A and B are shown apart, each in its own frame.
Chain A
Amino acid sequence: MTTDTAAPAANQALEEVLLQHEVEQFYYHESTLLDSHRYEDWVSLFTDDTHYFMPLRRTMTRRQLHLEFTRPGEMAYFDENKEFLEKRAQKLATGTSWAEDPPSRTRHLITNVRITENTDTEMVVHSNFMLYRTRLKADIDQWVGRREDTLRRTGAGLAIARRFIYLDQTVLQSANLSNFF
């Protein structure tokens, strides 16, 4: 019968859809935590050995485009382990972190989610983001870019074991990066 051969393929397709759904829901949950200022809860989504990294980007000619991003060990905007992410979250909670008090209003939009590698324990997931921020009466900033994550399966669900963030700006058009990506 045709179902004998079609069933495994259909099952595999269904599994992929379910996995895609799980990952997307994870990101939506993560975005909600950030946009509702629940930073310490957000940090708990990261593994203890996580690496959160945002390189610098430089305008280079096509011939030297392989050099446009800095690498770990070079200058970066973020180069964080879990402890530093926790410190940043604690700092925002002090009530004296003036660049975020009054807090800015953010919206994280996550799109183009693609699971590019998948093993039993970890996935590599690429996504695009737009972070829109308004601050005080009239400040508006927005950042568009892509993320390369390693998501790890843990007892408590998915966790971010690595996040590299690539912004689509060279000279940053904002006064700071006081939010998370």
Chain B
Amino acid sequence: MKDTTSPADQLDELVSVERGEIDRRIFSDQEIFDLEMKHIFGRAWLFLCHETQIPKRGDFFEAPMGTDNVLVVRQKDGGIKAFLNTCSHRGNAVCRAEEGNVRNFMCTYHGWTFGLDGELVGVPGKSLFYKDKLDLSRYPLRKVAQLESYRGFVFATFDETAPPLEEYLGPTGRLGLDLLAERGDIEAVPGVQKFVVDTNWKFTVDNVFDYYHPQITHMSAFAVGLIPAPPEDFVDGGAKTESGANLEVPFLPTDLHNVVMVGEYGHAISGPDQDSLEVNTGTRDPFAWRYKPDTVAKLGKHGSRVAGHPHIFPTTWVTANGQLSLRVPRSPGVTEIWWFSFRDKNASPEQQAALLSNHIHFFGPAGMLEQEDGENWAQSTLQTRGLQSREIPQRLKMGLGTSEIIKDDGLAVIDAPINEHAQLWTYHAWREWLRNPTWEELRQRTVPGERL
């Protein structure tokens, strides 16, 4: 490829599902980033917050939507609205707190004041200076095009032609949120972790599906027992340390039993099968919530087997353990990571504390897993910038083309050993989003085929 043409004009070459190769430039190119903001984040349903974060009238939470920030606000009638955090007069933010409770939003530049519904209700000097000629009804805060909740998870889109949320999520996306909602009568734990990594957002997304990396990346967490100690089996091929010693890479019973689901618009789920996970950890206790008859019925025969990570395109990761993470693109090389934690209101204080402790110690900036992930993502991003380095493609070839996709119970399911199918599916969908097709075209192009 020559640098004289725009990467955006070469979408077919940037992502090759057939070869399992991704052009590194998509992780650093500004033009690509701008297209992503427009064609993906300007259209997709994006997660904003959980309803329990804003329970009372006037409660608000500021959430990112692409390059914009919106205020998600609990209304007087109990409903929820979201609008851009920018004054209709001169553009200042009308709210500079991350969350809180208010009666109004007042711009601190000239005092234009907006109600909880975003309507302009106060303009200083309305008669004296504007001679009562300003029609306040014409200048509300700009609302998102559509806002909907699925089981308490609030999403919005800037595209009024986007399909309804449930249709957008499809069976795969809904299953992802069900796997969190079915844990009980859930509520958000107060506080959202937010931190900045020098990486492209897509690295933080495809890593969600990667079950090839924990044994090496998170080796130190295995070593101190944070993750249940693996059996004394090691994978072949081997890794050697800088001093030549064999680094024994654990082989887990789950490694040969992964379940992948791929869905329309780019949603996916990937990771271990629940039964093999229980063999691995030797316990069923933490999973009691999964075995209630209603939950088994709700999750379905394939959903009940999922112990991996669901991801809702483009940036919402539902973890296997009761958390949700947003990967917030800020520029081609900078991404904010946001972590939401959930608990079952009816769980005992001990159970709630144990789960929260697990959340704090696994993920987030001090998490004993995600520290190492952040290091990887930053390094991967850095090496997309070298003029020579970036000519080398990213390679997602594990299991390439070997897996049959079974269409069953509304889902597109693959049973296989550890693989890179879901990563590749995400990039396939990413490419189709960037072409900016109609919603129906986009759906058709992201219907899973026969194999991956």
Q: Do A and B come from one complex?
A: yes
User: Is A75 in contact with B195, judged by CB distance below 8 angstroms?
Assistant: no
Q: 30 A-B Cβ contacts within 8 A?
A: A55-B191, A59-B96, A59-B97, A59-B98, A60-B100, A61-B96, A64-B97, A70-B191, A73-B353, A74-B191, A75-B341, A77-B365, A87-B225, A90-B224, A91-B226, A94-B219, A96-B247, A98-B217, A98-B220, A98-B376, A99-B371, A99-B374, A171-B195, A172-B193, A173-B195, A173-B196, A174-B196, A174-B365, A175-B378, A176-B365
Task: Indicate whether A17 reaches chain B with its CB closer than 8 angstroms.
Answer: no
Q: Is A109 interfacial (CB 8 A cutoff)?
A: no
Cross-chain contact of A88 among B99, B223, B368 (Cβ < 8 A): B368
A154 within 8 A of partner (CB): no
CB of A97 closer than 8 Å to a CB of B:
yes
Interface presence of A84 (CB below 8 A): yes
Of the listed stretches B271-279, B354-362, B429-437, name the one at the interface; the rest are far from the partner chain: B354-362
Question: Given contacts A77-B366, A174-B196, are A60 and B99 in contact (CB under 8 A)?
Answer: yes
Q: In chain B, what residue has the closest Cβ to A100?
A: B371
Complex: A172 Cα to B195 Cα, angstroms? 4
Contact status B100-A87, CB under 8 Å: no
Tell me which residues across on chain A come within 8 A of B223, comparing CB atoms.
Answer: 90-91, 94, 96
Closest Cβ neighbor of A135 among chain B residues: B375
Query: Would A70 and B190 count as touching, CB distance under 8 A?
Result: yes
Chain B residues with CB under 8 Å of A112's CB are none
**Is B364 engaged at the interface, CB distance under 8 Å to the other chain?**
yes
Q: Is A178 an interface residue (CB 8 A)?
A: yes
Determine the chain B residues whose CB is within 8 A of the CB of A60 once the complex forms: 97-100
Given contacts A98-B372, A170-B194, 5 further A-B contacts (CB under 8 A): A79-B357, A87-B225, A96-B219, A172-B193, A174-B196
Contact (A177, B366) CB under 8 Å given A91-B224, A98-B375: yes
Which of A70, A95, A96 is most buried by chain B, counting CB atoms within 10 A of its CB?
A96
A91 to B372, CA, bound (A): 12
**CB pair A78 B190 closer than 8 Å:** no
| CB-CB nearest 6 A-B residue pairs | A75-B191, A172-B195, A99-B371, A97-B220, A70-B191, A177-B366
In the complex, what residues of B have CB within 8 A of residue A177's CB?
365-366, 371
Interchain pairs with CB closer than 8 A, number: 126
B206 at the interface (CB under 8 A from A): no
1/0 per position for A15-41, CB-CB distance to B under 8 A? 000000000000000000000000000
Chain B residues with CB below 8 A from A79, complex form: 356-357, 360
- Specify which chain B residues have a CB less than 8 angstroms from the CB of A73 in the assembled complex: 352-353, 356
Distance between A140 CB and nearest chain B CB, rounded to angstroms: 12
Report chain B residues within 8 Å CB of A96.
Answer: 219-220, 223, 247
Our pick among A78, A175, A178 for the contact of B197 (Cβ within 8 Å) is: A175
* Cβ-defined partner of A77 (8 Å) among B101, B196, B360: B360
In this assembly, does B221 line the interface, its C-beta being within 8 Å of a C-beta of chain A? Answer: yes
With beta carbons under 8 angstroms apart, the residue of B194, B224, B352, B359 that contacts A172 is B194
The interface bits of chain A over 88-121 (1 if a CB of B lies within 8 angstroms of the residue's CB, else 0) are 1011101111111000000000000000000000
Query: Is the pair B370, A176 in contact by a Cβ cutoff of 8 Å?
Result: yes
Most A C-beta atoms less than 10 A away, residue of B224, B241, B368, B378:
B224
Contact partners of B189 in chain A: CB under 8 A: 74-75
Residues 30-60 (chain A) with a chain B CB within 8 angstroms: 54-56, 58-60
- Cβ–Cβ < 8 Å partners of A75 in chain B: 189-193, 339, 341, 356, 359-360
Q: Which one of B341, B366, B372 has the greatest number of beta carbons of chain A within 10 Å?
A: B366
Query: Once the chains are docked, how many angstroms separate the CA of A70 from the CA of B99?
Result: 13
Q: Kindly state whether residue A10 has any CB partner on chain B within 8 Å.
A: no
Q: Any chain A CB within 8 A of the CB of B415?
A: no
Residues from chain B with a CB closer than 8 A to the CB of A170 are 98, 194
Give A90 to B368 CA distance when docked, in angstroms. Answer: 12
A14 CB within 8 Å of chain B: no
Closest to A61 in B: B97
A108 to chain B, nearest CB (A): 17
Q: Quick one: which of B364-419 are within 8 Å of A by CB? A: 364-366, 368, 370-372, 374-376, 378
| A171 and B194 contacting across the interface, CB-CB below 8 Å | yes
Any chain B CB within 8 A of the CB of A76? Answer: yes
Given A75-B189, A91-B221, residue A175 in contact with residue B195 (CB < 8 A): yes
Q: Which residue of B lies closest to A72 (CB)?
A: B353
Q: How far is the CA of A95 from the CA of B96 in the complex (A)?
A: 43
Kindly identify which residue among A77, A78, A87, A176 contacts B224, using a CB–CB cutoff of 8 Å: A87
Question: B344 contacts the other chain (Cβ, under 8 Å)?
Answer: no
CB <8 Å contact, B191 and A76: yes
Q: Contacts A59-B97, A77-B193: A172 and B357 contacting too (C-beta < 8 A)?
A: no
Chain A proximity mask over B96-117: 1 for CB below 8 Å, otherwise 0: 1111110000000000000000
* Residue B255, interface by CB 8 Å: no
Residue of B nearest to A173 (CB): B196
Contact check, B98 vs A175: say whether CB atoms are below 8 A apart: no
A60-B100, A91-B220, A91-B224 known; A171+B375 contact, CB < 8 A = no
Check B51 for interface membership: any CB of A closer than 8 A: no
Task: Tell me if B194 and A99 are in contact (CB < 8 A).
Answer: no
A71 to B192, CA, bound (A): 13
Is there an interface contact between A175 and B97, defined as CB atoms closer than 8 Å? no
Q: Is B178 an interface residue (CB 8 A)?
A: no
Tell me, rounded to whole Å, the shortest Cβ–Cβ distance linking B76 to chain A.
20
Q: Is B336 an interface residue (CB 8 A)?
A: yes
Residue of B at shortest CB range from A87? Answer: B224
Q: B373 to nearest A CB, angstroms?
A: 9
Q: Complex Cα distance A98/B341, Å? A: 26
| Binary contact track A155-179/B, C-beta < 8 Å → 1, others 0 | 0000000000000001111111110
Q: Which residue of B has the minimal Cβ distance to A99?
A: B371
* Chain A residue nearest in CB terms to B368: A91
